Structure 1
Amino acid sequence: MASILEKKQKKKEKYTLKELKTLGHQLLSSREHINNLPLLLSFISSSSPPQHALESLLSLSSFFTPLLPQVCSSAKYSLSSSKDDPEFIYRTWLKSKFDDFVNSLIHVSLSPQSEDTLRDIVLDTIMEFVKTANAGNFHSAIYHRFLHGIVYSEHPVHMLLDLLASNYFTYISMEKLAGTLEAKEISESSIEKLHHILSHIPSFEDADKKDDAEMWSMLEFSFGKKEDLQKESMQSEAEVKKNKKEKSKKNMLNAKKMKLKFTKAWISFLRLPLPIDVYKEVLVTLHQAVIPHLSNPIIDFLTRSYDIGGVISVMALSSLFILMTQYGLEYPNFYEKLYALLVPSIFMAKHRAKFFELLDSCLKSPLLPAYLAAAFTKKLSRLALSVPPSGALIIIALIHNLLRRHPSINHLVHQEYGCAATEDDTKEERKLVGDEDEADCSGISTSSNKPGFDHFNNEETDPVKTKAMKSSLWEIDTLRHHYCPPVSRFVLSLENDLKVEAEVAVKDFSSASYATIFRDEIGRRVKQVPLAFYKATPTSLFSESDFPGWTFKCEDISEEHNHNSTKRQRMECS
């Protein structure tokens, strides 16, 4: 095999640039020199000298361009012609050589060995064939082959990805391409390239602002001609207005069809087994760049992502929230899944700011049952004991808003006994839970009604069964003595403002961290500086008044110390 390639390479080297020009002129002048076509085609390669490849490309492009309508219509011609017809044989052979020419161009454009100048000309030639090969209409078959080669390429092709991202016809091939990928072994690089192309295609709103985008967005895939401009200049004003109305209706129809193709492309892509990095990138931008332009919301993908748990569920919450609020999606287990996301690690997650803002929005509905609002309030207050100070600030803001929105759970602020505040909501909760044993609040003293007993079950995953309505927010009371001053100050300020109807903006605290808290503290103006001084030098770390019943005998400690030092000296002397 290697010897054959070497022979072909030597044959190529025999031809000079002048001889290649002569072969091209002969091919363009007469059909008698049609055998020059395979010879010129052999120079369209990344291994050929750039000047030789460029000269062959120009000759073959000039040869095929006027014949494209015949070459592309050879399939229709074959239906009305016999296989023995010389014209049919010639067209079939010409079609196969054109396919080889396109494949060679795609190979050169993807090869890292190709020079930039040659690659630019090759790309222009491919896109010119795409525009004109189908009698002035878009040729999706050539474009699909080009896109297929880019996605399956083993080499980085960022420049080509950017080129395709500016092309609205990519949606047409994307659905078909994603289907072929789904049936084969998929590499992560191929999926990453597909995502890069899909995520960088301009939105439909920008189509009217750019001439190129408007040209590529026409659904009929027809391109403007000078004759149309001349006819428009000769029309009357009434005809121009009529044409504008027809054009606007046509554009609206095109927009609907393009939206459908956009939806099919994304749905086909989201069915692929996405790598975790691509998965996260998709969820980050899905609610802003994709969902508003879909004709059918991608409910299955989002609900499946929301059920995964962890960071993936947090990132899917934004898109799922949009579907529930704007598209009327019913998701029965939504609050149960949301309750499961309240774990200490969520306060260190990368996208925690957006999550807590959405959490505050999800709990804003006045139709939220009291027992469910109490479960979230109690879960957050329990988390306040184990999260960083920044997380405690967020929790205090969320709980303050919940108490303001749902007055029926205000008894949680101070409830000493479990059955002290059992109203209609707690009765409903007991019915849902099936708790018949503790439903008796007639005054019988049980172990669960003793002071200091918390009915709340923090390990329960179902918010209905947590018995939060029988508990109290004693955890928030402990934050009044928090070691971080901003936390204790925030709790005290909200205690004073509990009767105020204004809610707290969670977004002001959702991005807090140790760094932001420290920066705010050192920037505060302190009116009075606390000083610690003693009239007499202290003899112990703690005074006896701090610990009633305890006695600190410093003399015994010193005597024991002296005894041990004397014993150590004796041992050293011996």
Structure 2
Amino acid sequence: MPVRSLPPPTKRRKTAVGSTSFKSIEAQLSLAVAENGTLNPLADLLMLAYGSSDAREMSKAVYSIYRVFVLIISRGMLVHGGDDAAKLVRKWIWEKLDSYVELLVGLLQDEEPALRKSSLEIIFSLLKHLSTSQTKSSPTAQPQFHLAHFKHIVHGLLLCPPSPRSNGGSKYNSKTMLDVRENFVDVWFSVYDDIRWCFLREATTVLSKYSSKEYPQLLDNLLSIMEKLSTFPTDSSELNSWWVEELSVKPPKHKSAKGGAEEDDDAESMDENDEDDWRKFFDEDSNAKDTKKNGVKARTHTLTFHQSLYSLQAHRAVFTRTWLNFLPHLLSVSTSSNRALTTRALNIMHRGVLPHLTRPVLVMDWISACVDLGDTVGLLALNALFTLMRDYNLDYPSFFTRLYAFLHRDVLHLKHRARFFRLTELFLSSTHLPATLLASFVKRLSRLSLNAPPAAIIMVVPFTYNILKRHPALMVMIHKTEDNPGTDTDPFIADEPNPNSTNALDSSLWELHSHIHHYDSAVSTMARIFAEAFTKPGYSMEDFLDHTYGTLIETEVKRKIKKEPALVMELRKDLFPTADAGKMDDGVRDVVSDLWVFG
């Protein structure tokens, strides 16, 4: 694969590639760096690396080039300054470094696991060296983070360019390698605060610049990293781990006047036209309780880069911006893959996303749109919506009406019915809900149980028992004086979409009572609990949610037989009648009887 920064093949210097080893070229370059000699062999070393098809040779090449660039960076050869000749040399070295980084980024998708791991480690090691060098050359002596180099890392993890050893093929259409993603998350993303902050910031930029249609795996790659984040800081004291060691020095405190905010004289200034102006949108009132609790002493958009890394509000702001840019992409195209990504995002929404947003209500519109999709996606969206209502005071009056709509004829036959009962039990757990509302839910479920498989009925019975136990006002539904009225006289309005207007409280749970005659002994035994005194503390739903036909059959097979069934019967003499016995009174032969004649 040709190196982009190298001159055309006709103008390259002739080198004895076959007889020149990586070690000898590395030795020449090390001596040249020490004596300020020519660095032209660096182009030859890069050309050898790009031409290596063997994994071992490639590994030797990337480590040789890495050691050379560490020497170059440590000698300050990439620092600004000098005459025109020095600037030309520095520009040439930067081109070679970019080519080398492109090689490493491509190797993150290589088929050889050792190459993938070593490439990722080298890239992050170079980030540390470049940031240290940039800090030493900074006129203000402020700690620096080499964002230009870090952008290559983010692009490699999200866009996934192919390996230079892949011999062509399609471009930018693969998922991040599992070991690369896990290594990045476990070693850097979940550990170092500067890596996490900068990744979230740059990932948002990638989402805005690259289309998910052109890069179909972009959304999946980003979500695969975001959903693994379980160490997001919740207090300013947790911001204490830095990959770039110079950032461990706390920044100068932000000075603020009564009328506004003012930076320290030696603080790094932010360009007003910089892309970080988005932070103004996420700033909260400085007098808010949340702001005081988290120790944020200035508006986020007035903080320098170094100060932002030590501000919990800044971390929450960049986290919020990434999710707000990511979520709309999932609903822009209704495909099976996007639906799967939506399900994964909703799975972590209530515990891994909402608590860390600057304002959780910002995702309300997206969650409401997911509710309209129904099925598993809609159910999970209801869970996130319930969290917004319970923990963040969101007013959503039609929540239980939307939940009631999920009680259709297929809900007890689908594979996600266990999840449905888990969430529905949570939604209806409040003792302050009106009896008319709860009566509609238990009545609708009992009606659906008439056509449900045994495993689903076993869920409905304890679920109803627990609700009746918490709400004694519903006990009237199992103590009706009428003798099991039929559906034609049942006052329950099954087609009413509003659970407060179904007249369910005037009805009874005769459907559940009918299950005492069910063919499955487990169901009939469970249905009898409504005829007993309600002295049990309540059932744990987890004990009933994983039943299937297989588990029911296994239970029956392992059941201990208390009374042996009868195995002997009296043999009738006319069980196999003779040929004469097959004649009827009028002399016509009985064809059915003839079938039992043997011999």
Q: Same fold (TM over 0.5)?
A: yes
The question of 1:512 aligning with 2:547 is answered yes
Counterpart for residue 429 of structure 1: none
RMSD over aligned Cα atoms: 4.5
What does residue range 285-300 of structure 1 map to in structure 2 within 5 Å? Answer: 285-297=348-360, 298-300=363-365
The question of 1:203 aligning with 2:268 is answered no
Counterpart for residue 66 of structure 1: 75
**Which secondary structure does the structure 2 equivalent of 1:216 belong to?**
coil
Instruction: Give the partner amino acid of 1:98.
Output: W
Please give the per-residue CA displacement for 1:503-533, whole angstroms capped at 9, x wherever unaligned: 3332221222223333333444443345487
Contact 2:128-2:243 at 8 Å conserved across structures? no
* CA distance in 2: counterparts of 1:409 and 1:189, whole angstroms: 51
Change (3 A) 1:399 1:152: same
The equivalent position to 2:20 in structure 1, one of 12, 16, 22, is: 16
The equivalent position to 2:489 in structure 1, one of 453, 457, 465, is: 453
TM-superposed CA distance for 1:98, in Å, is 1.5
Counterpart for residue 105 of structure 1: 101
The equivalent position to 2:87 in structure 1, one of 73, 85, 91, is: 91
The equivalent position to 1:280 in structure 2, one of 340, 343, 368, is: 343
Contact 1:140-1:173 at 8 Å conserved across structures? no
TM-superposed CA distance for 1:411, in Å, is 2.9
The equivalent position to 2:151 in structure 1, one of 134, 144, 155, is: 144
Change (3 A) 1:55 1:371: closer
TM-superposed CA distance for 1:61, in Å, is 3.1
Q: Which deviates more from structure 2 when the two are superposed, residues 516-525 or residues 354-363?
A: 516-525
**Which secondary structure does the structure 2 equivalent of 1:275 belong to?**
helix
The equivalent position to 1:333 in structure 2, one of 395, 398, 411, is: 398
* CA distance in 2: counterparts of 1:97 and 1:559, whole angstroms: 115
* CA distance in 2: counterparts of 1:203 and 1:393, whole angstroms: 39
The question of 1:383 aligning with 2:463 is answered no
Kindly indicate which of the two structures has a greater share of residues assigned to helix.
1
The equivalent position to 2:430 in structure 1, one of 347, 357, 365, is: 365
Q: Which deviates more from structure 2 when the two are superposed, residues 381-390 or residues 60-69?
A: 60-69
Counterpart for residue 428 of structure 1: none
The structure whose RCO (Cα within 8 Å, separation 6+) is larger is 1
Instruction: Give the partner amino acid of 1:510.
Output: L
Instruction: Give the partner amino acid of 1:480.
Output: I
The question of 1:159 aligning with 2:179 is answered yes
- Consecutive unaligned residues of structure 1, counting only runs of 5 or more, are 75-85, 226-246, 419-448, 541-554, 569-574
Change (3 A) 1:284 1:14: same
Instruction: Give the partner amino acid of 1:106.
Output: E
TM-superposed CA distance for 1:481, in Å, is 0.9
The question of 1:127 aligning with 2:145 is answered no
- Consecutive unaligned residues of structure 2, counting only runs of 5 or more, are 136-142, 161-171, 190-194, 251-294, 298-306, 331-336, 576-580, 595-599
Contact 2:15-2:44 at 8 Å conserved across structures? no
* CA distance in 2: counterparts of 1:318 and 1:525, whole angstroms: 41
**Which secondary structure does the structure 2 equivalent of 1:464 belong to?**
helix
Contact 2:154-2:202 at 8 Å conserved across structures? no
**Which secondary structure does the structure 2 equivalent of 1:347 belong to?**
coil
Counterpart for residue 222 of structure 1: 247
The question of 1:474 aligning with 2:500 is answered no
* CA distance in 2: counterparts of 1:561 and 1:532, whole angstroms: 39
Contact 2:405-2:497 at 8 Å conserved across structures? yes
Please give the per-residue CA displacement for 1:76-128, whole angstroms capped at 9, x wherever unaligned: xxxxxxxxxx7367436624641541342232342356976666555444323
Please give the per-residue CA displacement for 1:295-320, whole angstroms capped at 9, x wherever unaligned: 43343443332221001123334433
TM-superposed CA distance for 1:330, in Å, is 2.6
The question of 1:490 aligning with 2:526 is answered yes
TM-superposed CA distance for 1:253, in Å, is 5.0
TM-superposed CA distance for 1:37, in Å, is 5.2
**Which secondary structure does the structure 1 equivalent of 2:75 belong to?**
helix
Please give the per-residue CA displacement for 1:397-424, whole angstroms capped at 9, x wherever unaligned: 1222232333333333254789xxxxxx
TM-superposed CA distance for 1:539, in Å, is 9.2
**Which secondary structure does the structure 2 equivalent of 1:365 belong to?**
coil
**Which secondary structure does the structure 1 equivalent of 2:188 belong to?**
coil
**Which secondary structure does the structure 2 equivalent of 1:45 belong to?**
helix
Percent identity, aligned pairs only, is 24
The question of 1:268 aligning with 2:325 is answered yes
Instruction: Give the partner amino acid of 2:144.
Output: N
The equivalent position to 1:28 in structure 2, one of 26, 33, 38, is: 33
Contact 2:234-2:312 at 8 Å conserved across structures? no
Contact 1:137-1:223 at 8 Å conserved across structures? no
Contact 2:320-2:358 at 8 Å conserved across structures? yes
* CA distance in 1: counterparts of 2:32 and 2:487, whole angstroms: 101
Contact 1:41-1:56 at 8 Å conserved across structures? yes
The equivalent position to 1:184 in structure 2, one of 210, 219, 239, is: 210
Change (3 A) 1:532 1:403: farther
TM-superposed CA distance for 1:334, in Å, is 1.4
TM-score by length of 2: 0.68
TM-superposed CA distance for 1:65, in Å, is 3.2
Counterpart for residue 471 of structure 2: 406
Contact 1:131-1:137 at 8 Å conserved across structures? no
* CA distance in 2: counterparts of 1:198 and 1:398, whole angstroms: 35
Change (3 A) 1:281 1:27: same
* CA distance in 2: counterparts of 1:358 and 1:152, whole angstroms: 36
Please give the per-residue CA displacement for 1:25-68, whole angstroms capped at 9, x wherever unaligned: 45314556255555555445354854455434432331233326
TM-superposed CA distance for 1:150, in Å, is 2.7
Change (3 A) 1:224 1:562: farther
Change (3 A) 1:533 1:159: closer
Instruction: Give the partner amino acid of 1:157.
Output: M
Instruction: Give the partner amino acid of 1:456.
Output: F
Contact 2:204-2:321 at 8 Å conserved across structures? no
* CA distance in 1: counterparts of 2:13 and 2:590, whole angstroms: 95
Contact 1:110-1:150 at 8 Å conserved across structures? no
The equivalent position to 1:258 in structure 2, one of 309, 315, 318, is: 315
* CA distance in 2: counterparts of 1:337 and 1:105, whole angstroms: 52
Instruction: Give the partner amino acid of 2:385.
Output: L
* CA distance in 1: counterparts of 2:587 and 2:183, whole angstroms: 83
* CA distance in 2: counterparts of 1:26 and 1:403, whole angstroms: 84
* CA distance in 1: counterparts of 2:516 and 2:111, whole angstroms: 69
* CA distance in 2: counterparts of 1:202 and 1:532, whole angstroms: 62
* CA distance in 1: counterparts of 2:587 and 2:95, whole angstroms: 98
